[in-house]
Amino acid sequence: MDLTSPRVIRDIQNKFGFTFKKGLGQNFLTSRDILTKIVDSLENETDVLEIGPGFGTLTAALAERMDKVVSVELDDRLLRVLEYTLGDFDNIKIVRGDVLKLDLRSLIKDEFGEKNVSVAANLPYYITTPVITRLLEERLPLNNIVVMVQKEVAERITASPSSKEYGAITLLCRYFCEPSIVTAVPASLFVPQPKVDSAVLKLRLLPKSAVSAEDEKLLFRVIKAAFSQRRKTLLNCMCSAFPVAKDKMSKILTEAGIEPSRRGETLSLDEFAHVSDNLIKILRQ
Ligand code: SAM
């Protein structure tokens, strides 16, 4: 069964009376070429956690190469469909649940033991940032995260300092991984066709974080604060977010080697780590 064929997708819809739910981001991929690129980008991985199988098109492509694929789907209506489309595979397990609520650490441990796994997903766009943030901040045992995201999100995550795309999510990803764009994916390759183009983003997890900060949570708070009001200077953003007087905050920044009138988007991850490490001394006083 060629699950990338729009005709096959329509036949399955008719067989099960299935209608796409926009609210669940149900835009199904119809390109074998893109599926191959996603699977190839996982290199020598053997175990994959998939998010959102839909009719199972990426799930099947993964299962052809992997030892085991565990796939989390929120929409109950798809469970019967997936039994039909993926019934011939004995290395796929479908788990019904919301990826934002499931205990992913326990799921990975129960299904894959002590091994590291990779995540593959064609994510609904409205949950892209929360899912990526969760996968990274929870420090799950992952090798790679390969996700289809809105083109603009892929550009934001791979952006350089001082560009308009550079933001908190860029730095969060840089802290934990090496990001790259695997391929662009035009909207025409999905049914139903979304309004925006996509890209496959690969996040290769680093063996240790890119910079060392004394308090990781504080570093992320500093980064979020710096981008909370893009038109304001770093000094003003920091004063709004932390209970520190302006002259003291100015000193913290200057001692970290940062001119207080700079804007958050001009700072590198390293510079944010210096600010965070200087701030911690004052907060602890
Ligand atoms: N993997 C299929 C493909 O590539 O054609 C379908 C991708 S479709 C963009 C997104 C899938 O994620 C849908 O099957 C949808 O029901 C599912 N989904 C949406 N929100 C979810 C959530 N919070 N947790 C798990 N799955 C979710």
Residue in the block written with tokens 């064929």: 5
The C-alpha atoms of residue 84 and residue 90 are separated, in whole angstroms, by: 13
Pick the CATH number of 216-283 from 3.40.50.720, 3.30.70.380, 1.10.357.10, 1.10.8.100: 1.10.8.100
- Residue 253 has a pLDDT of 96
Tell me the domain boundaries of the chain: 6-205, 216-283
The C-alpha atoms of residue 199 and residue 259 are separated, in whole angstroms, by: 36
- Residue 283 has a pLDDT of 85
pTM of this structure: 0.94
- Residue 216 has a pLDDT of 93
- Residue 284 has a pLDDT of 83
Coil/strand/helix, residue 20:
coil
Residue 121 alpha carbon to ligand 1 centre in Å: 8
Q: Best substitution site from 50, 94, 123 to test ligand 1's pocket, by max atoms within 8 Å of Cβ?
A: 123
Ligand 1 environment, Cβ below 6 A: 24-29, 51-54, 57-58, 72-75, 78, 98-100, 122, 124, 127
- Residue 221 has a pLDDT of 95
The C-alpha atoms of residue 237 and residue 272 are separated, in whole angstroms, by: 13
- Residue 13 has a pLDDT of 98
Nearest ligand 1 atom to alpha carbon 55: 2
Name the token pair of 225. 């604060």
Q: SS3 breakdown of the chain: % helix, strand, coil, rounded to 5?
A: 45, 20, 35
Give me the residues of the chain with pLDDT under 50, please: none
Which element (helix H / strand E) includes 120?
strand 117-122
The C-alpha atoms of residue 235 and residue 252 are separated, in whole angstroms, by: 10
- Residue 76 has a pLDDT of 97
**Protein fold of 6-205:** Rossmann fold (3.40.50)
Residue 31 alpha carbon to ligand 1 centre in Å: 17
Q: Residue 100 half-sphere exposure, CB side, CA atoms within 13 Å? A: 9
Q: Given the DSSP bridges, would you call strands 198-205 and 142-150 parallel, antiparallel or unpaired? A: antiparallel
Q: Read off the pLDDT of residues 2-23 as tens digits, 9 standing for 90 and up.
A: 999 999 999 999 999 999 999 9
The C-alpha atoms of residue 93 and residue 2 are separated, in whole angstroms, by: 20
Contact 119, 144 (CB under 8 A): yes
Residue 54 alpha carbon to ligand 1 centre in Å: 5
